[in-house]
């Protein structure tokens, strides 16, 4: 057995409303150091794949709370996120390669919108994350989603 194999995973069981009881690798838990606005007490989340490119961001400590998220650059190719220096420092981000950006989707009045004003920024090297509120007024809290790109089967 190699040394890598001894480095065993710690599995954590969590209860969720939408996915039942699931078991996850503790290392994959994303920590929102300040919670998520509106859910300040919820700091631990995990990502669950839905159907590409949609994912769920499920709270570890509240079975009911889950957000639908998407990589915004797939749907909005000209989108850009400005992460301020103090936010980078806070999350321990050292360069663009450390960063995963997600956008929360909302369905209201039968329209899916994306909150491009407040991206979720995850440092994929330490799994620390924050939802940031950008000053950039080009981006709206409710940006209508164009059609999702269909996955090509070819």
Partner 1 sequence: MLVLTRKTGQIINIGDDIRIKIVDVGNGMVKLGIEAPRELPIFREELYEKLKQLNKESAKMDMDRLKHFLGEQ
Under the binding rule (CB under 8 A), the answer on residue 33 touching partner 1 is yes
Using rule CB under 8 A, residue 31 touches partner 1: no
Number of residues that bind partner 1 (CB under 8 A): 33
Contacts 24+ apart (CB under 8 A), 31-34: 31/127, 31/128, 31/129, 32/129, 32/130, 32/131, 33/90, 33/91, 33/128, 33/129, 33/130, 34/130
Q: What is the largest CA-CA distance in the chain?
A: 56
Q: Which of 12, 22, 47, 65 binds partner 1 (CB under 8 A)?
A: 65
Does 94 help bind partner 1 (rule: CB under 8 A)?
no
Using the rule CB under 8 A, is 126 a contact of partner 1? no
Among 15, 28, 34, 124, interactor with partner 1 by CB under 8 A: 34
DSSP per-residue codes, 130-148? EE-----TTS-SSEEPPPP
Residue numbers of the site for partner 1 (CB under 8 A)? 18, 33-34, 36-39, 50-51, 54, 64-68, 86-87, 89-90, 104-108, 112, 115, 117-118, 131, 133, 141-142, 148
């Amino acid at each position: 057995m190699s040394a890598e194999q001894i480095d065993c995973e710690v599995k954590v069981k969590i209860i969720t409303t939408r996915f039942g009881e699931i078991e996850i690798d503790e290392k994959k838990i994303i920590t929102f150091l300040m919670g998520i606005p509106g859910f300040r007490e919820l700091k631990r989340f995990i990502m669950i794949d839905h159907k590409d490119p949609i994912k769920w961001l499920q709270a570890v400590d509240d079975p009911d709370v889950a957000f639908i998220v998407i990589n915004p650059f797939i749907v909005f190719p000209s989108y850009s996120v400005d992460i301020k220096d103090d936010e980078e420092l806070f999350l321990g981000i050292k360069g663009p390669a450390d960063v995963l950006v997600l956008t929360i989707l909302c369905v209201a009045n039968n329209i899916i919108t994306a909150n491009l004003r407040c991206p979720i920024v995850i440092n994929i090297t330490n799994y620390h994350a924050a939802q940031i509120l950008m000053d950039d007024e080009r981006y709206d809290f409710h940006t209508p989603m164009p059609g999702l790109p269909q996955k090509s089967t070819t």
